[in-house]
Structure 1
Amino acid sequence: MVFAHTILVWTQGPDGLRGARARRAQLSGDEAPIPAIPSGSMIDFRRLRYFVTVARERSFTRAAACLNMAQPPLSRRIQEIEEEVGTRLIDRDARPLVLTPAGRLFYEQALQVLQRHNQMQAVMHRYVQHERPRFVVGLIPSGFHARLPQLIRRFRVMAPDVDLSLQELTSHEQVTALKEGRIDVGLGRVRVEDDAIRRQVLREEALLVALAPNSPLTTAKGPLDLAELATTPLILYPCEPRPSYADAILSLFSDLGITLEMTIEVRELHTALIMAAAGEGACIVPASAHMLAHPDVVFRPTLQPVTSPIILSHRMGDTSPALETLLRAFAGLYTEWGFPISASLRERLSPSQADPRPQGL
């Protein structure tokens, strides 16, 4: 028996988005083409939204109510789409309604098209409102980057015509905001997998152990073996949402085969440092945290070479000048500070871009 599936191919014409041809690709490797859709047909954003609403509600009645329209016109619009793509998308005999295999594929494609359209609208709205390009950076809470002020100043020198603004968002919130066009870049430490998002590791930052000055673990010289923390309460942050940096630290100990007797979870880095200073336990923090530290906190390097990535996330395919400027700003400052730059970032930037140093800074 030969099975087949339908593939929709979208094309962009001078008069808008066209629902293009469909072909039936057989698993045997043979192809049996379906007649192409007439070149004059056009599936617009309005009808795509109608279809997505029907697919989500699984009912023409509920979808019509959501769209504030009568049911017969809605049904006709869906029929028009089916006629243009050349196949049935919805099984109307099922209760509730069910998408056909072609309908499921069309639904996935429609979501991507509408998502990109929403991103475009958001970007243009920001541009019109501010009369110049606006570049929004999402940052995780808890003092993600102690050297962030220097980075912002460098970016503004390199791109004086760009309106840079910051938003505090968790790593997962950043992914949603990127896909909706509300931010242009996200900076965090947690790898969130999403096909629409590209992640760029800027560098791996060394981790330190934060302790109270009177802790027995501060008396020894040299790096601290993380195994010595097994019987010490480990202060983790943030406690929510999960997964987060806290889970990365737990995984680190698990990978090293170290079983922790007790953990304490708090919301923010600052709270964790205060508790460490008070002798409530130890906390694993990025090396840059010493710039934000409580004066009664002692930092010790670790015997094991453990690090935490600094990750820049952006929309797949984004080649905006502002994004490239931000990457060059990171690379330039890291070079000046003596920090190693990730191999992937070096490959992304040409040698001439890797160490930018604007005049007057």
Structure 2
Amino acid sequence: MELRHLHYFRVVAEELNLTRAAERLHMSQPPLSRQISQLEEEVGASLFERNPRGVSLTAPGQFFYEHTLQILEKIDSTVTATRRIARSKRELFGIGFVPSAFYGQLPLLVRGLRQKDNVELMLAELTTIQQVQALKAGRIDIGFGRLQIDDPEVVQEVLYEEPMMAALPENHALEGTRPTLTELARKPLIVFPATPRPSLADMVLGLFHRRGLKIEVAQETNELQTALGLVVAGLGFTLVPEQVSRLKRQGIVYVYLADSSITSPVLCSRRKGEAPSATMQDTNEILRVLMENRRAERYAKGSRE
């Protein structure tokens, strides 16, 4: 399947008439009909119903049309952004991140880098493993995740250890307490992300398994927001890093665990042995200041015990 097939399909879907579509595409009708037939053969579904007055989209055709629009719009925006970067001669700097790391210092880092006139940021939501792969392929320049990955081409730095908290529905029996894992194991657990693995989900499940605790998994979901929504719905609880508690959501309460040693690391991943660019140097300096501020704020709060 080629890009032109999608373009042809979109025009026919908009005109619902092969003659008008061919005129719009500045081609004759027979070649256009052949291209559409080839596309249908490759997709394995009839995309149009042919009738004397023209054509109409089938149910698969309507589905294919909606997704074709998204693909073509994404391509158009990518081409436009590429041209803008080429004209401005700005450096493209890619940042990968896991969603649970985006409620703390990471937005402040992004804000600081956006103030640089010579940088075009590209943000990508990726698991830690995907970040390592993207770093090695050159698709991103730095990643923020939670899993230790042993790879000779990537170096990881632990920025800080973050306490884990239980997200509970309002008026839960454990609200206002510091529950133990034994107490939580009696309740159904909502796990995220479901895929790809390994991920934060395996770290959470491992907390119970290493203590010989059996835990009922009520639901697995890929999205943090969905997991929190399921908590509100009363399907169970979920364990989240502390910074997620900054996300004030109606119907949810967050409680610290009895065992304050249960933490999740926030890791920064970079390519190993690569001389830092000017933007990477700026990134490292912003991170240094943010980590100093975080430590100062933590100590200023005093103990959580």
TM-score by length of 1: 0.54
Q: In structure 2, what residue type is equivalent to 1:212? A: P
- Runs (5+) with no aligned partner, structure 1: 1-125, 342-361
Shift of 1:143: 4.7
Q: Is the 8 A contact 1:253 1:259 kept in 2?
A: yes
Q: For 1:315, which of 251, 271, 282 is the aligned residue?
A: 271
Q: Is the 8 A contact 2:101 2:266 kept in 1?
A: no
Q: Is the 8 A contact 1:232 1:262 kept in 2?
A: no
Structure 1 residue matching 2:123: 3-state secondary structure: strand
Verify: 1:169 aligned to 2:121, yes or no: no
Q: How many Å separate the matches in 1 of 2:172 and 2:163?
A: 22
Structure 2 residue matching 1:217: 3-state secondary structure: coil
Shift of 1:173: 1.9
Taking structure 1 as reference, are residues 339 and 268 closer, same or farther at Cα in structure 2, changes over 3 Å only?
farther
Taking structure 1 as reference, are residues 286 and 194 closer, same or farther at Cα in structure 2, changes over 3 Å only?
same
Q: Tell me the equivalent position of 1:149.
A: 107
- For the pair shown, which has the larger CA radius of gyration, 1 or 2? 1
Q: How many Å separate the matches in 1 of 2:87 and 2:203?
A: 40
Taking structure 1 as reference, are residues 226 and 130 closer, same or farther at Cα in structure 2, changes over 3 Å only?
farther
Taking structure 1 as reference, are residues 233 and 334 closer, same or farther at Cα in structure 2, changes over 3 Å only?
same
Verify: 1:215 aligned to 2:164, yes or no: no
Q: How many Å separate the matches in 1 of 2:215 and 2:297?
A: 31
- Runs (5+) with no aligned partner, structure 2: 1-83, 299-305
Q: Percent identity?
A: 35
Q: How many Å separate the matches in 2 of 1:130 and 1:216?
A: 57
Q: In structure 2, what residue type is equivalent to 1:152? A: V
Give deviations 1:243-298, integer Å, cap 9, x for gaps: 11100111122233322134421111111111112211111001111222422100
Shift of 1:211: 0.2
Q: Is the 8 A contact 1:274 1:294 kept in 2?
A: no
Q: How many Å separate the matches in 2 of 1:197 and 1:244?
A: 18
Q: How many Å separate the matches in 1 of 2:87 and 2:97?
A: 23
Taking structure 1 as reference, are residues 289 and 173 closer, same or farther at Cα in structure 2, changes over 3 Å only?
same
Taking structure 1 as reference, are residues 257 and 179 closer, same or farther at Cα in structure 2, changes over 3 Å only?
same
Structure 2 residue matching 1:335: 3-state secondary structure: helix
TM-score by length of 2: 0.64
Taking structure 1 as reference, are residues 192 and 281 closer, same or farther at Cα in structure 2, changes over 3 Å only?
same
Taking structure 1 as reference, are residues 129 and 259 closer, same or farther at Cα in structure 2, changes over 3 Å only?
farther
Verify: 1:274 aligned to 2:205, yes or no: no
RMSD: 2.5
Which runs of at least 4 in structure 1 moved beyond 6 Å after TM superposition? none
Say how many residue pairs are matched. 213
Shift of 1:176: 1.7
Shift of 1:226: 1.7
Q: How many Å separate the matches in 2 of 1:309 and 1:340?
A: 18
Q: Is the 8 A contact 1:231 1:262 kept in 2?
A: no
Verify: 1:334 aligned to 2:291, yes or no: yes
Shift of 1:177: 1.4
Taking structure 1 as reference, are residues 323 and 303 closer, same or farther at Cα in structure 2, changes over 3 Å only?
same
Q: Tell me the equivalent position of 1:4.
A: none
Q: Tell me the equivalent position of 2:19.
A: none
Q: For 2:152, which of 195, 200, 218 is the aligned residue?
A: 195
Verify: 1:136 aligned to 2:106, yes or no: no
Structure 2 residue matching 1:137: 3-state secondary structure: strand
Q: Tell me the equivalent position of 2:52.
A: none
Shift of 1:329: 1.3
Which moves more between the two structures, 261-270 or 298-307? 261-270
Q: How many Å separate the matches in 1 of 2:227 and 2:215?
A: 17
Q: Relative contact order: is structure 1 or structure 2 higher (C-alpha 8 Å, sep ≥ 6)?
A: 2
Q: For 2:199, which of 244, 268, 287 is the aligned residue?
A: 244
Q: In structure 1, what residue type is equivalent to 2:172? A: S
- Give the helix-richer structure, 1 or 2: 2
Give deviations 1:212-245, integer Å, cap 9, x for gaps: 1121111x54x22121011100111000001111
Q: How many Å separate the matches in 2 of 1:149 and 1:196?
A: 27
Q: How many Å separate the matches in 1 of 2:136 and 2:225?
A: 30
Q: How many Å separate the matches in 1 of 2:290 and 2:174?
A: 34
Q: Is the 8 A contact 2:156 2:267 kept in 1?
A: yes
Taking structure 1 as reference, are residues 252 and 339 closer, same or farther at Cα in structure 2, changes over 3 Å only?
farther
Q: Tell me the equivalent position of 2:244.
A: 289
Q: Tell me the equivalent position of 2:179.
A: 224
